Amino acid sequence: MQKAFSYRFYPTTEQESLLRRTLGCVRLVYNRALAARTEAWYERKERLDYVQTSALLTQWKKQDDLQFLNEVSCVPLQQALRHLQSAFTNFFAGRAKYPNFKKKRNGGSAEFTKSAFRWKDGKVFLAKCNEPPNILWSRRLPDGVEPSTVTIRLNPAGQWYISLRFDDPRDLTLQPVDPSVGLDVGMSSLITLSTGEKIANPKHFNRYYKRLRKVQRSLSRKQKGSRNWDKARLKVAKIHQKISDSRKDHLHQLTTRLIRENQTIVIESLAVKNMVKNRQLARSISDAGWGELVRQLEYKAQWYGRTLVKIDRWFPSSKRCGQCGHIVERLPLSVREWDCPKCGAHHDRDINAAGNILAVGHTVTVCGAGVRPDRHTSGGQLRRSRKSQK
């Protein structure tokens, strides 16, 4: 199984100078190739591919004003062209938007394949670097494993990270357990379990909100592009990085616990990109990190031999009575508890939704198809989705 471990590292002055030049060259090659491909299409209706942009790179290296491209390793430059080709492939397939130009203030990354680095005695020696970077090893690679790809990344906060990709031969499958759980995500409670437990939302953004407002006001008073503006921008980026790190750390602990304690986890398939279009809830939804929660559950379930089931997001888990199956027509978000008009059962909105999600998840596991409510039947009866019937 392909995995990648990311570590923080602290380069020396010489290493940082070389790495920054490498990132700058990668960014320049990517942007020039993107501009060339865009120009070729709009002016000549011609599509350039990786081979043609690679030939352009060879020509750029011969120009007098671009001789500095020869001072860094050629591998990250070629990898930048491959990444651009992948971006266009995803665009033409409808999986992504048109590629954007890279910006210096966003940091950047450079990918080194095996021909551009050396792995010796548990240390990484990058091309054109005499010494290995000082990596903060939070965990070691498995014994006998060597990385196939090394990626250097500089985030907007000025922090350096190195990612080692490798093929993990270990079998990390956990012992099977009996419990299964349904998860209902929310904002007041980050998730509600079908067992009745509610995990509070830490609201990491609110913890740093006052500090963030202060530094952002300071940034707004600086002249854009000046030295003081860059210093203020860095302070803002560092606070945003703290918020992101706190959110990811909490989600890692939560998802690891869910994976270890349950054999099957059922959750709704969420369209977070559409949900954040609601201007009143966008900040709260983004701060909750629902997309990252699902992403971590997906790969951890694959790693440890658990089952993650996603049900149709249009399934009325909150409106459906968990006792009799009756579906109420309207249930505003402000209503946190309600009584079923058919059987009289009293429900906590989130716990009832989590229970319904778990019940539908069992149906999906048995039938092997997604389910959603049939609008033409009464009592909230379930049917297989149209896609699964074809």
Shared domain check, 237 and 297:
yes
The answer to whether the CB of 25 falls within 8 A of the CB of 81 is no
Shared domain check, 188 and 120:
no
Residue 113 within any structural domain of the chain: yes
Shared domain check, 356 and 228:
yes
* Model pLDDT, residue 366: 64
Shared domain check, 125 and 53:
yes
Cβ-based burial of 33 (10 A; exposed 0-12, middle 13-18, buried ≥19): buried
Cα→Cα distances 130→36, 124, 177, 185, Å: 35, 11, 50, 49
d(CA 127, CA 353): 54
Shared domain check, 204 and 291:
yes
Shared domain check, 207 and 85:
no
Shared domain check, 224 and 96:
no
Shared domain check, 121 and 48:
yes
Residue 361 within any structural domain of the chain: yes
Shared domain check, 256 and 307:
yes
Residues of the domain holding 93: 2-167
Final residue belonging to a domain, choices 167, 198, 221: 167
Neighbouring C-alpha atoms within 13 Å toward the C-beta of 142: 13
- Produce one character per residue of 206-228: b if its CB has 16 or more CB atoms within 10 Å, e if not: eeeeeebeebeeebeeeeeeeee
Residue 386 within any structural domain of the chain: no
**Dihedral of alpha carbons 383, 352, 194, 284, sign:** positive
Query: Under 8 Å CB-to-CB from 246, ≥6 apart: which residues?
Result: 202, 204, 207
Final residue belonging to a domain, choices 116, 134, 167: 167
Query: Under 8 Å CB-to-CB from 224, ≥6 apart: which residues?
Result: none
Query: Under 8 Å CB-to-CB from 209, ≥6 apart: which residues?
Result: none
* Model pLDDT, residue 368: 55
Residue 331 within any structural domain of the chain: yes
Final residue belonging to a domain, choices 122, 139, 167: 167
Residue 388 within any structural domain of the chain: no
d(CA 102, CA 30): 8
The whole-number mean pLDDT for each consecutive block of 10 residues of the chain, a chain of 390 residues, reads 94 96 97 96 92 96 95 96 97 94 94 95 92 93 93 96 95 93 91 93 94 96 94 96 95 96 92 86 91 94 94 87 88 87 89 92 67 40 40
Residue 384 within any structural domain of the chain: no
The structural domain count of the chain equals: 2
d(CA 59, CA 143): 43
Shared domain check, 75 and 18:
yes
Shared domain check, 248 and 107:
no
Residue 376 within any structural domain of the chain: no
Shared domain check, 160 and 20:
yes
Q: Which residues are catalytic?
A: 184, 268, 350
* Model pLDDT, residue 367: 63
Residue 62 within any structural domain of the chain: yes
